[in-house]
Chains A and B, each alone.
Chain A
Amino acid sequence: MSGHPTYQPQSAFMRWMERRLPIGGLIYSSFVVYPTPRNLNYWWTFGGILAFMLGVQIVTGVVLAMHYTPQVDFAFDSVERIMRDVNYGWLLRYLHATGASMFFLAAYIHMFRGMYYGSYKDPREVLWILGVILLLLMIITGFMGYVLPWGQMSFWAATVITNLFSAIPLVGEPIVTWLWGGYAVGNPTLNRFYSLHYLLPFVIVGVVVLHIWALHVAGQNNPTGVEPKSEEDTVAFTPYATIKDSFLLAVFCILFAWFVFYIPNFLLAPDNYIPANPAVTPTHIVPEWYYLPFYAILRAIPNKLFGVMALGASILILAFLPWLDTSKVRSARYRPLYRQFFWVFVIVCVGLGWLGGKPPEGNYVLIARIFTVYYFAFFLVILPVLGKVERTKPLPNSISESVLREGKPIGAQAPPPAGAKV
Chain B
Amino acid sequence: MTTMSSAEPTRRDFLYIATASVAAFGAAATLVPLIAQMNPDASTIAAGAPIEVDLTPIADGQVIKVFWRGKPIYVNHRTKKQIEEAQNVDVAKLPDPQPDSARVKPGHDQWQVLIGICTHLGCIPIAHQGPYDGYFCPCHGSVYDTSGRIRQGPAPLNLALPPYEFLSDTKIRIG
A and B pair up: yes
Inter-chain contacts of A88 with B (CB < 8 A): 32-33, 36-37
How far does the Cβ of A251 sit from chain B's closest Cβ, in whole Å?
Answer: 14
Q: Is the interface of A mostly helix, strand, loop or mixed?
A: helix
Inter-chain contacts of B39 with A (CB < 8 A): 87
> Is the beta-carbon distance between B34 and A87 smaller than 8 angstroms?
no
How far apart are the CA atoms of A67 and B44 in the complex, in Å? 12
Interface residues on B, range: 10 to 19
Inter-chain contacts of A361 with B (CB < 8 A): none
Number of interface residues of A (CB under 8 A): 14
Inter-chain contacts of B41 with A (CB < 8 A): 67, 81, 85-87, 89
From A81, A84, A86, A246, give the contact of B37 (CB < 8 A): A86
Q: Is A204 an interface residue (CB 8 A)?
A: no
> Is the beta-carbon distance between A91 and B33 smaller than 8 angstroms?
yes
> Is the beta-carbon distance between B43 and A87 smaller than 8 angstroms?
no
How far apart are the CA atoms of A67 and B36 in the complex, in Å? 13
Inter-chain contacts of B49 with A (CB < 8 A): none
> Is the beta-carbon distance between A92 and B42 smaller than 8 angstroms?
no
How far apart are the CA atoms of A84 and B41 in the complex, in Å? 9
* B34 and chain A: residue at smallest CB distance: A63
A-B contacts, CB under 8 A, total: 35
Most central of A59, A67, A87 by chain B CB within 10 Å: A87
> Is the beta-carbon distance between A84 and B33 smaller than 8 angstroms?
no
How far apart are the CA atoms of A87 and B34 in the complex, in Å? 9
Inter-chain contacts of A87 with B (CB < 8 A): 33, 36-37, 39, 41-42
How far does the Cβ of A87 sit from chain B's closest Cβ, in whole Å?
Answer: 4
Inter-chain contacts of A86 with B (CB < 8 A): 37, 41-42
> Is the beta-carbon distance between B43 and A67 smaller than 8 angstroms?
no
Q: Is A66 an interface residue (CB 8 A)?
A: yes
How far apart are the CA atoms of A89 and B42 in the complex, in Å? 11
Q: Is B38 an interface residue (CB 8 A)?
A: yes
Please encode chain B, from 34 to 76, with 1 for each CB lying within 8 Å of some chain A CB and 0 for all others: 1011110111100000000000000000000000000000000
How far apart are the CA atoms of A66 and B44 in the complex, in Å? 14
Inter-chain contacts of A84 with B (CB < 8 A): 42-43
How far apart are the CA atoms of A246 and B23 in the complex, in Å? 10
How far does the Cβ of B42 sit from chain A's closest Cβ, in whole Å?
Answer: 4
> Is the beta-carbon distance between B42 and A66 smaller than 8 angstroms?
no
> Is the beta-carbon distance between B33 and A92 smaller than 8 angstroms?
yes
Inter-chain contacts of A246 with B (CB < 8 A): 23
Inter-chain contacts of A59 with B (CB < 8 A): 34
How far does the Cβ of B47 sit from chain A's closest Cβ, in whole Å?
Answer: 10
Q: Which of A125-157 contact B (CB under 8 A)?
A: none
Please encode chain A, from 80 to 107, with 1 for each CB lying within 8 Å of some chain B CB and 0 for all others: 0100111111011000000000000000
How far does the Cβ of A61 sit from chain B's closest Cβ, in whole Å?
Answer: 12
Inter-chain contacts of A67 with B (CB < 8 A): 37, 41
* A84 and chain B: residue at smallest CB distance: B42
How far does the Cβ of B137 sit from chain A's closest Cβ, in whole Å?
Answer: 31
How far apart are the CA atoms of A84 and B43 in the complex, in Å? 9
* A247 and chain B: residue at smallest CB distance: B19
How far does the Cβ of B32 sit from chain A's closest Cβ, in whole Å?
Answer: 8
How far apart are the CA atoms of A89 and B39 in the complex, in Å? 11
Assuming A87-B33, A88-B33, is B43 touching A81 (CB within 8 A)? Answer: yes
Please encode chain A, from 51 to 63, with 1 for each CB lying within 8 Å of some chain B CB and 0 for all others: 0000000010001
The 3 A-B residue pairs with the shortest CB-CB distance, nearest first, are: A88-B33, A85-B42, A87-B36
> Can you offer 16 A-B residue contacts whose CB atoms are under 8 A?
A63-B34, A63-B37, A66-B37, A67-B37, A84-B42, A85-B44, A86-B37, A86-B41, A87-B36, A87-B37, A87-B39, A87-B41, A88-B33, A88-B37, A92-B33, A92-B34
List 4 additional A-B contacts (Cβ < 8 Å) besides A66-B37, A67-B41, A85-B42: A85-B44, A86-B42, A87-B41, A92-B33
